[in-house]
Amino acid sequence: MLPDSPSQHSFDSHTNESVGVTTTHRLRSSLELVFQDTHLQNADAPPSMRRELRAALRQVCVDARRSGLRAEQLLVLIKEVWSGIPAGISRVTALHGDERLNYVISTCVDEYYAAETSNEGNEREVRS
């Protein structure tokens, strides 16, 4: 199967060692849906209004961890998918750069490692 884009090919070739191409494509599709959905508009909203976006990103992060994708690989994938969405959705005028992308990345880092902590806690409970 040929890659959809040169950047996708480079990402897929880097992740093939530890994560299957099918997993990468599934995560890419999940991120595209989250980014194209109206949840992304909530990145500009007050924290109380961001719950749906955070929940959608949490699911992607949990899936990535369960599939063996490292945090840095997930961030590369997020940036690649982000660069492919329409500018009207991904960009918002801001004094400090691209606040939506910054929010998505920081949320995914939080959720990725929260899933790790949660899994360790569950493993400790099982061993006890």
pLDDT, tens only, 21-74: 888 999 999 999 888 776 666 666 777 667 888 899 999 999 999 999 999 999
Query: What's the number of CA atoms in the CB half-sphere (13 Å) around residue 19?
Result: 25
What residue segments make up the domains of the chain, in order of their start?
Answer: 23-127
The torsion of the CA quartet 121, 122, 125, 126, rounded to 10 degrees, works out to -140
> Out of 37-41, 107-111, 113-117, 121-125, which region has the weakest mean confidence (pLDDT)?
121-125
How far is 12 from 48, CA to CA, in rounded Å? 36
| Type and span of the H or E element at 29 | helix 21-36
Q: How many CB atoms lie within 10 A of CB 58?
A: 17
pLDDT of residue 7: 47
